[in-house]
Amino acid sequence: MNLTDWFPGSAKPVRKGVYQREYTYGKATQSQYCYWDGEFWYMGEPRANLAQAYGTSPTNGLAPNQSLPWRGVLK
């Protein structure tokens, strides 16, 4: 899978879709796939296809932290 460089959480993606976001827990970091709807991030998932399904469902919740670093997933 090809990925872009990391962007700061203050920058927002131009296109809707699935991106990787970097979560930090103490000294550990973990990447999760999240859907960006053009305005908000949705909860993280371990796989891109799950993030796509989660983010496009009208009943699922937004990610509590909207300003984490992110990078694009290239096809």
Bridge partners (DSSP) listed for residue 28: 25
pLDDT in tens, 23-39: 988 899 999 999 999 99
Confidence of residue 61 (pLDDT cuts 50, 70, 90): confident
Mean pLDDT of all residues belonging to the chain: 91
Per-residue pLDDT, averaged over 4-28, amounts to: 94
